[in-house]
Amino acid sequence: MSKNEHHVVPSKNDSGWDVKKAGSERASIHTDTKQQAIDKGREISQNQHTELVIHNRDGEISEKDSHGNDPYPPRG
C-alpha cells in the first residue's frame, strides 16, 4: 500500500465498511454500507489529494479513483 492512498475495505468484524489510510491500523471512518464508505472515502481522498482504492468483500480491488498527482495522466 502506498502512503498516498485511502482504502475502502470491509470491517474486520463483518459489521460494515471502513475507510483507512494506507499503513494505518485504525479506520478513519466506519459506515454501515459500502456506498456510504465510498462516498466518505471519496471526500477524504479529494481533500487530501490521494488515490481511493475500493475493495470487495473478498479483498480484491474493484475500483480506483485518483485525486492526487497522477503519474500517468491521459493526453489531450
Q: Please tell me the distance from the alpha carbon of residue 8 to that of residue 50, in angstroms, as a whole number.
A: 13
Give the model's pLDDT for residue 14: 73
Full-prediction pTM beyond 0.85? no
| Domain ranges across the chain | 5-66
DSSP annotation of 74: P
Q: How far apart are the first and last CA of the chain?
A: 30
Give the model's pLDDT for residue 72: 66
Instruction: State pLDDT tens for residues 24-70.
Output: 999 999 999 999 999 999 999 999 999 999 999 999 999 998 876 66
